[in-house]
């Protein structure tokens, strides 16, 4: 099977670093960098996705439920939280594979929370 192209909105399986850089964990992440920048750089900006739900969600968190109409396109297996305050600039070589894609509606949800996370 041919490798799918990584672009804005791709959900990728990536070696994601812990915030203290003590280790890495393979996990899904969504690419938020614009395509025109990714074509020029060896790195991409992505945000953390987790199936572990905290007791209290932040205004920067977006929860995607399996019954959401767009869920199947994402390639995710479980209810997931997109933690838009957990961004990382990672080298493209850290991508193991593309799991799926976010549609326009889901990216709008992420963009709203990114504005909150970044104070824009």
Q: Is the pTM of this model over 0.85?
A: yes
Find the mean pLDDT for residues 31-49.
92
d(CA 82, CA 100) in angstroms, rounded, equals 15
Contact (CB, 8 A) for 49 and 76: yes
The HSE-up count of residue 65 (CA atoms within 13 Å, CB side) is 3
pLDDT of residue 2: 38
pLDDT of residue 67: 95
For domain 10-118, the question of CATH label 1.10.10.10 is answered with no
């Amino acid at each position: 099977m041919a490798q799918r192209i990584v672009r804005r909105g791709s959900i990728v399986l990536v070696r994601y670093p812990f915030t203290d850089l003590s280790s890495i964990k393979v996990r899904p992440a969504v690419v938020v960098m614009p395509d025109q920048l990714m074509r020029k750089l060896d790195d991409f900006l992505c945000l953390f996705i987790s199936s572990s739900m905290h007791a209290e969600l932040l205004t920067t968190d977006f929860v995607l439920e399996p019954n959401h109409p767009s869920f199947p396109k994402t390639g995710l297996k479980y209810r997931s939280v997109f933690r838009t305050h957990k961004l990382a600039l990672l080298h493209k070589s850290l991508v193991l594979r593309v799991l799926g894609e976010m549609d326009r509606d889901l990216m709008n949800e992420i963009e709203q929370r990114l504005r909150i996370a970044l104070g824009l």
